[in-house]
Structure 1
Amino acid sequence: MIAFLGQGRMGTPMARRLVEAGHDVRTWRRVSGVTAAAAVDGADLVITMLSDPAAVREVMTAALPGLRAGTTVVEMSTIGPEAVRGLRALLPAGVGLVDAPVLGSVGPAASGSLTVLAGGDVSGCREVLSVFGSVKELGPLGAGAAMKIAVMSALVPAQVLLAETFAYGEAHGVDRDALVGALADTPLGVPAGRLRTPSEQTRYSLAHAAKDLELAAWEGASMSAAARARLQEARAAGLGERDLAAVVDHVAGAGSGERARRAVPLNLPTVPATNGMYSHAVRAGDTLYVSGQAAFDEQGNIVGEGSMAAQAEHVFQVMARILADQGATFDDIAFIRTYLTDMEDRREYGEVRRKYITGTPPASTTVEVSRLFMPGLLLEVDVIVALPSRRAG
């Protein structure tokens, strides 16, 4: 029996393909009223097709009591290799894991013409995966997830580039159809044709495209960072559930002055989730405001309890991810503020801080406080960053 967790735009047609191929399938979605553990109970194969790394971890944590030794989990969401490694650590040793994200949207999911990018030992699920389309076996666990992010870090920025190309053409009196015709014989011809008339149906949501580029964030990815900023603006403007093609009208309609003033909240999948009452960072024009970062993990547990050095390392590593997401480094920090529960720890904290902030010191304030928002936290750090204008959105 196959348990298929996730019945969204992609999950529904994919589960239907399995049923039509003669497999015994039990589907599950959050609003079903059935627990994830009950959904996977007795399953030989568990397939997940969920929205992001946090959703996968949440659902699979809930499913743990129902998993039995010998079951294989096939993770088909787009969550990146780091999250796949985290999932492997979460699952019991007797439960197998394959990462198999797909290339393609709703249409190919329904017709069985997706490209499955598989990592890990697929010997026990190769036949099932072939129901969805062609299977590319790419190597060890995590290889499929890494390949998916690498591909999307090229495809998505290319579509944002075309949206800007259309906006330039419109501003200079170039007919859009004529522009698409001129691009037809170039490598950008096919995506330009798809973007010419945005689809009313959401095949690949703008929010998912932004999430994919957030997963692809790394310090040297300047073009990807610019595309990601565009999509984050569009998502903040309420276009997240629209098809990615909606970025065309967003770019054309948003004046540069308006974009510069808009505050765009940023919450990376690679940073422990907030409680919903704040965002980890907000970008306004060329300035990035990073909320107070503290040493806790995705489950809300203290990292490095009792150790200032361990907590400081965690805080600066998280901050590094946030900065890299916006194409910035620690050299771009204009102001840093540190809250310590014991000023006697400032020397130990300073040793860690100097490992990350190595250039001209930014403006700085350090204060002692009686306590922080979670018992056991020894420090909290927030920063204001002057984003390099050449990389800002």
Structure 2
Amino acid sequence: MGCMKSSRWWNVLAPHSVNGMISFLGLGRMGAPMARRLVAAGHEVTVWNRTPRTVEGAVSAATAAEAVAKADLVITMLTGPAAVREVLTAAAPELRPGALVVEMSTIGPEAVTGLRDLLPPGVGLVDAPVLGSVGPAADGTLTVLAGGDAGDLARCREVLEVFGRVRESGGPGSGAALKLAVMSALVPAQVLLAENLAHAAAAGVDTGTLLDVLGGTPLASLVERVRPVVENGPQPTAYSLGLAAKDLGLAGHGTLAAAAEELLLGAVSAGLGDQDLTAVFGYVTAGRTGSAGVRKVNPASVPATNGYYSHATRTGDLLFVSGQVALDEEGRVVGEGDMTRQSEYVMEMLARILADQGCSFDDVTHIRTFLTDMSRLREYGEVRGRHITGEPPASTTVEVSRLFMPGLMIEIEVVAAIPAAR
């Protein structure tokens, strides 16, 4: 007995290395090749994924708790803060005293602090998100941004070097903060280049020539990343557009990054979330030529439609709002016989839809009103004047014999230009 060491005792004797079993949680596009590298490096690896997957040479666990039960080192590579917290909440009771958790997802420093509070006493935590995509994950050329206590970093450094170059950034949370800072520069730069190419093409500039010229500037590496999608169309997903939008949302960014995030969210709504970030070039170009993906807008703050239309549609920086009428959540007429009450209700619904997209009545370019009785125009006009102040938009008002439901007296639709920063 005196010459035998359990994994727990090994952690006490040799705090500067991890030689026991490694648990790898999350086998997505990045996680699977990273886990394979650990196996190839000779480590004993147990893997787990929400949707059961396997890695040749690794043991597959049925649950996250089972995967970590015998592990000296636990690595998480998941989609975001909520997923990491959910998985580690389930696994935490089975973590061994002296185990070390290395969180390699992109979750931000606040979420890292929350994980520290979640883990049992005696379990270490390192935040080590990575720079690079699927290719570098497979060939071990990622950049690992590692933050944590010096002793914990020393224990896992040799393992992290399996994935690529390790850049120690400071204390707990510093790796997560550095990752967001880097992405807040890289992702908006790519979106900016996409918009630049689209504007230039609209102005008659040859895209190939522009890329050649930009390739001789400090933007050369970015140009080479996007050239294949510009010349050959969609590329295999390495870093998804949806994850890029998520990363910017975590960053607490400035104006330029906020605009980039909004554009990416529009692309996600158009169904491009699982495509590579470079798909933003096609999305932006389509927007400049009038064939952009259309985003359907149905705010929860407005009574649901009957399923045959959306309250609004958005394409590029234009918002088209369907005709709004005075119907409540139950489909009953509000203020029957009362033009002022119906007008107020309709204007309030329009305001909510505009606000959902970052607009107000000041951004309305055209308003079209349908009245069943033009003699009551003054009542409507007084209400409208309280909502639309200052220089008025273009306007059309017509009388109709009836609207689609008895008792409705007014219907209003608008078009708005969404401010660029939104």
TM category (shorter chain) comes to 0.5 to 0.7
| Residue number in structure 1 paired with 2:27 | 7
Q: 2:74 aligns with which of 39, 46, 49?
A: 46
**1:206-238 Cα shifts (integer Å, max 9, x gaps):** 0111001001124xx000001001100001100
SS at match of 1:3: strand
- Alignment gaps of 5+ in structure 2: 1-20, 53-60, 300-311, 320-354, 362-386, 388-415
SS at match of 1:197: helix
Q: How many residues were matched structurally?
A: 287
| Residue number in structure 2 paired with 1:19 | 39
SS at match of 2:235: coil
Q: Which has the higher contact order (CA 8 A, sep 6+)?
A: 1
| Residue number in structure 1 paired with 2:241 | 206
| Residue number in structure 1 paired with 2:250 | 215
- Given the two structures, how large is their TM-score scaled by the length of structure 2? 0.63
**8 Å CA contact retained: 1:233, 1:264:** no
**1:106-162 Cα shifts (integer Å, max 9, x gaps):** 111111111100000301101101111111111110000000000000000000011
| Residue number in structure 1 paired with 2:376 | none
Alpha-carbon distance change, 264 to 244 in structure 1, aligned in 2, over 3 angstroms: farther
| Residue number in structure 2 paired with 1:142 | 173
Amino acid at match of 2:180: I
Q: 2:143 aligns with which of 101, 108, 115?
A: 115
Please say if 1:169 is aligned against 2:204.
Answer: no
The alignment yields a C-alpha RMSD, in angstroms, of 2.9
Please say if 1:247 is aligned against 2:280.
Answer: yes
- Alignment gaps of 5+ in structure 1: 267-281, 288-322, 335-361, 363-385
**8 Å CA contact retained: 2:23, 2:45:** yes
Alpha-carbon distance change, 265 to 65 in structure 1, aligned in 2, over 3 angstroms: farther
Q: How far off is 1:69 after superposition? A: 1.0
Q: 1:231 aligns with which of 243, 246, 264?
A: 264
Amino acid at match of 1:211: K
Alpha-carbon distance change, 183 to 237 in structure 1, aligned in 2, over 3 angstroms: same
**1:314-363 Cα shifts (integer Å, max 9, x gaps):** xxxxxxxxx9xx9x8xxx999xxxxxxxxxxxxxxxxxxxxxxxxxxx9x
For the residues of structure 1 that align with 2:132 and 2:257, how far apart are their CA atoms?
20
For the residues of structure 2 that align with 1:261 and 1:210, how far apart are their CA atoms?
18
| Residue number in structure 2 paired with 1:55 | 83
Largest Rg, 1 or 2 = 2
**1:361-384 Cα shifts (integer Å, max 9, x gaps):** x9xxxxxxxxxxxxxxxxxxxxxx
Alpha-carbon distance change, 172 to 286 in structure 1, aligned in 2, over 3 angstroms: closer
Q: 1:196 aligns with which of 212, 220, 227?
A: 227
Alpha-carbon distance change, 50 to 70 in structure 1, aligned in 2, over 3 angstroms: same
For the residues of structure 2 that align with 1:113 and 1:42, how far apart are their CA atoms?
29
Q: How far off is 1:255 after superposition? A: 4.7
Q: 1:86 aligns with which of 114, 129, 135?
A: 114
For the residues of structure 1 that align with 2:417 and 2:256, how far apart are their CA atoms?
15
